Amino acid sequence: MDSFLLSLILPFRRLWLVPESDGQVISRRRHEQELQIVSEDSSIKMPAEKKDVITAVYRTHEAIQSLDKKITMLNMDLVEAKNSPEMHSSDSYTPAIESSGKGSQPKKKMLMVIGINTAFSSRRRRDSVRETWMPRGEKLFQLEREKGIVVRFMIGHSATSNSILDRAIDSEDALHKDFLRLEHIEGYHELSAKTKSFFSTAVARWDADFYVKIDDDVHVNLGMLATTLAYHRSKPRVYIGCMKSGPVLSSKSVKYHEPEYWKFGEEGNKYFRHATGQIYAISKDLATYMAVNEPILHKYANEDVSLGAWLIGLEVEHIDDRNMCCGTPPDCEWKAQAGNVCVASFDWSCSGICKSVERIKHVHEKCGEGNGAVWSALI
């Protein structure tokens, strides 16, 4: 009998499980009430054997739910173990802040973890960011301790083990200690996979309210970003950025060609709303969801579309914040003069600051919030 019941129920198990919802609680209570009514109403004659079967089905279902919850927790432990500092001893980390696991100190609660997407060839871009809006040296770790803000350049590995490219990053990291190395093979067409890897790695290493992805040719005011995210801190599942809905491009000759254009309906249709890829933030629940379900999240050609696709079917609040996509001077300069300092600035025409290595310092001078702003931000 038990084997028969299990064969009926097991095929309907879900791939992942969330805590018991209000609807599940109501269903369980209704089932209990129905059994009580049936047993008390003398006009309804139910054979004892049938009642026993119903009770057995219900108890088996409960047991499977309990097992699924335990499997979900084990999946989270596996994600954390896979990305722990012990598994990646070459990665930079601060043990007092990032340590986790049994027998160790609990993770310190952070406001946000920022991953700056970069490439092997982008050394000059990284240096220009270090010279403008990103703290360096001891200031970088002081920002973590005092404000709960983690900032790292995120990069994977080359296809060749211990290549000259990887060794160059290792040398740069030894000097600045500001990299997060990912278990990912670098490549322009692999940005969606890199994004998944970043969230999975960051969630395992840091306990934060928000996880933020930024491109290395974007200017950011950390104080404004912290203040903006802190305002949404009490919300459980938020997706923050400059929301857009561009056309699905079916032509192979264009830059942002979508090979799976047919999935989005008729030719000429637009994508669902999603944040532009230069900068966006997601809350902890969403980053954790991605970490747990990383193997089954489908990758589209464009990274920002992929992220939007992973979230479109969930209970998520999309927050369209245009302060996260200001233009470069004079746009962000005028806004700063009016007291409306931008979170981020870039040129839409270049999908970042055009010639960012030469121009980001000028953007910082005209649109920067000031070096003390992040330290005085009320978060």
Q: Would you write out the chain's pLDDT as a tens digit for each of its 379 residues?
A: 445 444 444 443 444 444 444 555 555 555 555 555 445 444 445 566 666 666 766 676 666 666 655 565 566 566 555 545 444 444 443 333 343 344 456 778 999 999 999 999 999 999 999 999 999 999 999 999 999 999 999 999 999 888 999 999 999 999 999 999 999 999 877 899 999 999 999 999 999 999 999 999 999 999 999 999 999 999 989 999 999 998 888 888 788 888 888 888 888 888 999 999 999 999 999 999 999 999 999 999 889 999 999 999 999 999 999 999 999 999 999 999 999 999 999 999 999 999 999 999 999 999 999 988 999 887 7
Nearest to 317 by CA among 239, 245, 209: 239
Place of tokens 């609807």: 23
Distance from C-alpha of 135 to C-alpha of 355, rounded to nearest angstrom: 22
Do the beta carbons of residue 309 and residue 298 sit within 8 Å?
Answer: yes
Using only C-alpha atoms, what is the Rg of the chain?
25
Supply the pLDDT for residue 43. 47
Supply the pLDDT for residue 101. 42
∠ Cα 31 34 40 (to 5°): 145
Give the dihedral sign, CA 146/363/302/282: positive
Supply the pLDDT for residue 283. 97
Q: Map out the domains of the chain with their CATH numbers.
A: 110-243+275-376 (3.90.550.10)
Instruction: Tell me the whole-structure pTM to 2 decimals.
Output: 0.74
Beta strands in 167-224, from DSSP E residues, in sequence order: 179-185, 207-215, 219-220
Helix (H), strand (E) at residue 164: helix 164-176
Supply the pLDDT for residue 223. 97
For residue 45, give the DSSP letter. Answer: -
